[in-house]
């Protein structure tokens, strides 16, 4: 699930398991890097936009100013826009697309324990992927969403419906995420990194991580088996993970 400060938010088909047959399909050898990749067609995406109005824009800028010490750019009209460098994979800890979108829909958080203006902007993600692989776009990939502390200013967030035990993530979600990522990397060549939410703190102390507060959350989504399967699918893209030897 995306970054949050309220308690309890982080708590079909066969669940993912590193021992489960078929998790890592038997495929042929990689295409040599010297051969140009064919153009990736835009994957099927339903558009269920969240509310982005003047209030959400102002609250996003207040959040960025508090966490980063200032706006992303010197242009006030572009403070909530970014050049994506990373994609962060999450799980929703919920049962379906509609409940996930409902969580992100409004500009403000409903259950925030910190009522300061900088913390009022709601959680958000750019894309949702259902357990059957259906994909939904919630916001533009170049707009800052609140989903990963310290990396929001450069990261696209993809939420996957489910969790570890009650609604386990599926093979269909691995394949759907992979197709979406191939398209995103093609459309945004600035993307160099792919991580799971549980890996975000390993960027602390690097130039990519920007957060001057002490607020951190413990995360375990979307789980190591899911990320291993997804990275296997995308191994030819050469996307980087978290720094080696970090926390």
> What dotted CATH number matches 76-103+123-237?
3.40.80.10
Q: What is the pLDDT of residue 80?
A: 80
Q: 104-108, long-range: CB within 8 Å, 24+ apart, which pairs? A: 104/2, 104/50, 104/138, 105/50, 105/51, 106/51, 107/51, 107/52, 107/53, 107/55, 107/56, 107/59, 108/55, 108/59
- Which sequence spans correspond to the domains of the chain? 76-103+123-237
Give the H or E element holding residue 86: strand 86-91
Contacts of 144 (CB under 8 A, 6+ apart): 60, 64, 72, 80, 81, 82, 152, 153
Edge to edge, the sheet with strand 46-47 lists 46-47, 135-137, 127-129, 155-160, 86-91, 193-196
Say whether the peptide bond before residue 222 is cis (omega within 30 degrees of 0): yes
Distance, C-alpha 49 to centroid of its chain: 16
Give me the pLDDT at residue 247, please. Answer: 53
How does pLDDT run along the chain (247 residues), one tens digit per residue? Answer: 776 543 333 333 334 444 343 445 544 445 455 456 789 999 999 999 999 999 999 999 989 988 887 666 555 555 688 999 999 999 999 999 999 999 999 999 877 666 677 789 999 999 999 999 999 999 999 999 999 999 999 999 999 999 999 999 999 999 999 999 999 999 999 999 999 999 999 999 999 999 998 878 888 999 999 999 999 999 999 999 999 865 5
The tokens describing 20, both together, are 């489960």
Q: Any idea what the Cα angle at residue 163 is, between residues 184 and 51, rounded to 5°?
A: 55
- Predicted confidence at residue 4, as pLDDT, reads 58
Q: Specify the pTM.
A: 0.83
Phi first, then psi: give them for residue 224, nearest 5 degrees: -65, -40
Residue with tokens 């975000």: 200
What pLDDT does residue 32 have?
Answer: 52
Residue listed under structure tokens 């995306």: 2
- Helix 224-233 vs helix 171-187: angle between axes, to the nearest 10 degrees? 50
Given this model, what pLDDT does residue 57 score?
92
* Residues 135, 177: Cα–Cα separation, whole Å: 9
pLDDT of residue 81: 87
- For strands 135-137 and 127-129, give the pairing: antiparallel
């Amino acid at each position: 699930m995306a970054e949050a400060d309220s308690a309890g938010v982080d708590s079909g088909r066969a669940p993912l398991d590193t021992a489960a047959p078929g998790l890592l399909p038997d495929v042929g050898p990689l295409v040599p890097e010297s051969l140009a990749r064919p153009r990736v067609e835009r994957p099927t995406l339903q558009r269920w936009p969240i509310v982005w109005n003047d209030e959400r824009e102002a609250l996003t800028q207040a959040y960025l100013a508090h966490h980063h010490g200032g706006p992303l750019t010197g242009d006030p009209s572009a403070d909530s826009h970014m050049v994506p460098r990373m994609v962060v994979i999450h799980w929703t800890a919920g049962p379906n697309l509609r409940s996930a979108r409902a969580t992100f829909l409004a500009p403000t958080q409903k259950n925030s324990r910190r009522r300061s203006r900088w913390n009022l902007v709601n959680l958000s993600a750019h894309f949702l992927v259902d357990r059957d692989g259906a994909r939904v776009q919630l916001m533009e990939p170049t707009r800052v969403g609140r989903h990963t502390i310290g990396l929001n200013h450069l990261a696209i967030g993809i939420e996957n419906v489910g969790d570890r035990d009650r609604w386990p993530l599926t093979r269909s979600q691995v394949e759907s995420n992979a197709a979406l990522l191939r398209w995103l990397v093609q459309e945004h060549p600035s993307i160099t990194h792919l991580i799971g939410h549980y890996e975000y703190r390993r960027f602390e102390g690097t130039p990519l991580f920007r957060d001057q507060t002490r607020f951190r959350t413990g995360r375990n989504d979307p789980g190591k088996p899911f990320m291993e399967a997804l990275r296997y699918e995308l191994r030819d893209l050469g996307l980087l993970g978290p720094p080696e030897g970090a926390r």
